[in-house]
């Protein structure tokens, strides 16, 4: 999808390819910090995670709760192989990526079916060989989640997200920032205490950005399945189709993304995961077509209080 660039390539501002790469990796490597809302937040003394959580990272379908704890502080470090560093149509280059992340969140329970969400997270992506691709991503977010038990436990979410992309770990060296409104609807189907199928859709609307060329709106549908094989071991699989409408140059992309995660919880605060994903992108401008596969592992530490 994109050509190899050196830092000097940003001299006239970021290209859409630069931002696409950052947003694709960020979306597929962030563990689900923050709440997983179910009717009342608790079911049978446990809380259930949503397949709409990030594709790569710590995930679990069931986790024990002794009382609602609104604060979360988390550290995670995915390490993975990527088959197409620059998301190019041909001449792909592969590399290993290390992507440490830190996040803090406050998720107040306003009523039994309404939750707030406030959070901040920072993630830095370090490439093993192609260091000019290193970047950091800072997110500040606020939103609400609402459950409708009378409609098969339908979940509605709305969120504001500010995203700031920087060169490597140089937090003051920004190359793109974006203000986004995110709307999600999800319908869960619980087959048993250990299995859940979820159908949902997302709309991500960019309401402001410092560069217009990479700016876009995303419209997504997804199907997710989660199974808890033991009390500590969970498998998740998610399929997504995303239409990406760019604000300039008449560009429209359609992406199909498949991901799978297997997570083993060592303690209440420590988990390890095997992670994988595959993405295929079709654009009305052929130069932006690409395929990319990611596979690796992640470790996550999380404290709730």
pLDDT digits (tens, 9 = 90+) for 89-141: 999 999 999 999 999 999 999 999 999 999 999 999 999 999 999 999 999 99
Residue 16 in this model has a pLDDT that exceeds 80: no
Measure the CA–CA gap between 137 and 26, rounded to whole angstroms. 8
Per-residue burial over 234-268, b = 16 or more CB atoms within 10 Å of its CB, e = otherwise: bbbbbebebebebeeeebebebebebbbbbebeee
| Pairing status of strand 252-265 against strand 114-127 | unpaired
Measure the CA–CA gap between 25 and 294, rounded to whole angstroms. 9
CA distances, 83 to each of 61, 276, 300 (Å): 29, 12, 24
Q: What is the pLDDT of residue 169?
A: 81
Of 191, 246, 258, give the one whose Cα is nearest residue 222: 258
Q: What is the pLDDT of residue 290?
A: 95
Residue 6 in this model has a pLDDT that exceeds 70: no
Whether 2 maps to a domain, the answer reads no
Which residues span the domain enclosing 281? 7-304
Task: Give the whole-number percent of the chain exceeding pLDDT 90.
Answer: 71
> Cα-flanking dihedrals φ and ψ of residue 179, to 5°?
-105, 130
Burial class for 305, CB neighbours closer than 10 Å (0-12, 13-18, 19+): exposed
Q: What is the pLDDT of residue 208?
A: 94
Measure the CA–CA gap between 174 and 202, rounded to whole angstroms. 27
Whether 95 maps to a domain, the answer reads yes
Q: What is the pLDDT of residue 25?
A: 80
At 170, is the pLDDT very low, low, confident or very high (cuts 50, 70, 90)? confident
Residue 234 in this model has a pLDDT that exceeds 70: yes
Q: Which residue has the higher pLDDT, 42 or 68?
A: 68
Residue 175 in this model has a pLDDT that exceeds 80: yes
Q: What is the pLDDT of residue 177?
A: 94
Whether 253 maps to a domain, the answer reads yes
| Chain length of the chain | 305
Residue keyed to tokens 């060296």: 173
Residue 266 in this model has a pLDDT that exceeds 70: yes
Residue keyed to tokens 């048993």: 192
Q: Provide mean pLDDT across the span 275-288.
A: 94
Residue 153 in this model has a pLDDT that exceeds 50: yes
Q: What is the pLDDT of residue 34?
A: 39
Q: What is the pLDDT of residue 236?
A: 96
Give the count of beta carbons closer than 10 Å to the beta carbon of residue 146.
15
Whether 1 maps to a domain, the answer reads no
Task: Give the whole-number percent of the chain exceeding pLDDT 70.
Answer: 82
- Number of domains into which the chain is organized: 1
CATH number at residue 298: 2.40.160.40
Of 170-179, 204-213, 243-252, 257-266, which range is least confident?
Answer: 170-179
Q: Taking the C-alpha atoms of 129, 130, 133 and 135 in order, what is their torsion angle to the nearest 10 degrees?
A: 20
Q: What is the pLDDT of residue 28?
A: 67
Q: What is the pLDDT of residue 59?
A: 40
Q: What is the pLDDT of residue 7?
A: 38
State the first-to-last Cα distance of the chain, in angstroms, to the nearest integer. Answer: 43
């Amino acid at each position: 999808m994109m050509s190899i660039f050196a830092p000097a390539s940003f001299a006239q501002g970021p290209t859409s390819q630069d931002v696409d790469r950052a947003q694709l990796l960020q979306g597929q490597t962030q563990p689900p910090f923050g709440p997983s809302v179910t009717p009342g937040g608790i079911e049978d003394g446990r809380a259930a995670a949503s397949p709409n959580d990030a594709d790569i990272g710590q995930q679990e379908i069931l986790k024990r709760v002794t009382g609602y704890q609104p604060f979360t502080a988390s550290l995670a470090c995915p390490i993975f192989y990527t088959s197409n560093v620059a998301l190019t149509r041909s001449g792909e280059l592969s590399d290993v990526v290390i992507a440490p992340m830190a996040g803090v969140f406050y998720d107040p329970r306003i009523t039994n079916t309404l939750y707030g969400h406030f959070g901040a997270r920072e993630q830095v992506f370090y490439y093993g060989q192609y260091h000019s691709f290193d970047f950091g991503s800072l997110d500040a977010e606020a939103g609400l989640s609402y459950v409708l038990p009378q409609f098969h436990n339908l979940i509605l979410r709305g969120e504001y997200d500010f995203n700031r992309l920087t060169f490597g770990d140089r937090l003051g060296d920004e190359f793109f920032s974006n203000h986004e409104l995110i709307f999600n609807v999800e319908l869960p189907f619980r087959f048993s205490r250990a299995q859940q199928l979820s159908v949902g859709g997302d709309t991500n609307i960019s309401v402001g950005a410092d560069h217009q060329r990479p700016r876009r709106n995303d419209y997504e549908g997804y199907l997710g399945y989660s199974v808890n094989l033991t009390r500590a071991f969970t498998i998740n699989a998610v399929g997504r189709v995303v239409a990406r409408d760019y604000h300039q140059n008449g560009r429209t992309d359609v992406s199909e993304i498949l991901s799978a995660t297997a997570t083993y919880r060592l303690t209440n605060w420590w988990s390890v995961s095997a992670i994988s994903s595959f993405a295929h992108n079709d654009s009305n401008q052929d130069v932006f077509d690409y395929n990319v596969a990611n596979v690796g592992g992640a470790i996550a530490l999380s404290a709730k209080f």
